[in-house]
Structure 1
Amino acid sequence: MVRFAEEKDLDIINELRKQVNDIHVEGRPDIFKAGFGTELRDYAQVLINGENSDIIVAERDGIICGMACVDYVNKPETPFGNARCFYHVQEIAVDVNHRRQGVAKELLEFMIEDAKKRKLGKIELDVWEFNESAIEFYQAVGFRQMRRWLEYEVK
């Protein structure tokens, strides 16, 4: 079952978010901070209570085993670009014990239906290059690359 999160879900949501943070810390310790402090924990509540954001959770046998933090973006026209509205996935996590069991796909299917209801024609997200399993999943379900960020290390 996939549904919108409630405040009573925050503890398990933050456990899942910490798993994602740990992956990022391991992949890029030069960018991401180890640990999962109060500000990171409190951000989940901001999303649940936000006017243009939500957290979606996936349950198996009544236990939350996956989640996605999303926001609904409305970018006005600028001299450089057209106005556009889209569904933005900030974070997606599946508990380590439930990976490769269809949980992320269920979350995505829920997001697709929710995006349709909101009349948002695209779902966008970004992913770090070190997160190869996430990239493989996103490509397998139909996401395609639309932009690249590059870095140059000055020595």
Structure 2
Amino acid sequence: MMLRKVEMGMVRLAKEKDLGRINELRKQVNDIHVEGRPDIFKAGFGVELRDYAYTLMNGENSDIIVAERNGEICGMACVDYVHRPETAYGKARSFYHVQEIAVDENYRRQGVAKELLDFMIADTRKRKLKKIELDVWEFDDSAIEFYQATGFKETRRWMEYEVE
């Protein structure tokens, strides 16, 4: 198991006993999404969303990473390792994909997300992958600011057209 000690805490791969706290953090993120796009995201945090964390933790090409401070899980990231074959449109490629990242509202702006990112960068290198990819909703200004400040670059945009 990969462990990485950091100044303020520890970042590690999640264990099954962590799932309750992980889902508390995932619900905080879901609430942000519901507030930002109530036309897309469902309020609440049903069984299907809770069970998805278990699926990721036990997946062959996915993991959940947690950040701890004083023994309390204060952040997490759901990641998967994507291997896409060549198609008529694109070359074969592999990358580290961040599905979700969450920091407890009481720990934000304290370096937890950076600790998670540092772990992911080291893990990406260990897996001999060259890129970390993620997507972020336009309404999530603080996430966009964090990603840009840590070196992520915008590579494409999803756009929509509302037809009434």
TM-score, structure 2 length as denominator? 0.94
1:139 corresponds in structure 2 to 148
What CA deviation, in whole Å up to 9, does each residue of 1:119-147 have, x standing for no partner? Answer: 11000000000000000000000000001
1:117 corresponds in structure 2 to 126
Match for 1:16 among 18, 25, 32?
Answer: 25
Aligned length: 155
Q: Secondary structure at the match of 2:77?
A: strand
Gapped regions of structure 1 (runs ≥ 5): none
- Percentage of pairs with the same residue: 80
Q: Name the aligned partner's letter for residue 70 of structure 1.
A: V
Larger relative helix fraction = 1
Q: Secondary structure at the match of 1:70?
A: strand
1:107 corresponds in structure 2 to 116
Q: Secondary structure at the match of 1:124?
A: strand
Q: Distance in 2 between matches of 1:120 and 1:18?
A: 30
The answer as to 2:74 corresponding to 1:69 is: no
Q: Distance in 2 between matches of 1:13 and 1:122?
A: 25
The answer as to 2:31 corresponding to 1:47 is: no
Q: Secondary structure at the match of 1:129?
A: coil
Q: Distance in 2 between matches of 1:154 and 1:95?
A: 37
Q: Distance in 2 between matches of 1:150 and 1:43?
A: 27
What CA deviation, in whole Å up to 9, does each residue of 1:79-120 have, x standing for no partner? Answer: 100000000000000000000000000000000000000011
Gapped regions of structure 2 (runs ≥ 5): 1-9
Deviation of 1:63 after TM superposition, in Å, equals 0.2
Superposed structure 1 runs of 4+ greater than 4 Å apart: none
What CA deviation, in whole Å up to 9, does each residue of 1:29-50 have, x standing for no partner? Answer: 0000000000000000001100
2:43 corresponds in structure 1 to 34
The answer as to 2:97 corresponding to 1:95 is: no
2:65 corresponds in structure 1 to 56
The answer as to 2:89 corresponding to 1:80 is: yes
Q: Name the aligned partner's letter for residue 138 of structure 1.
A: Y
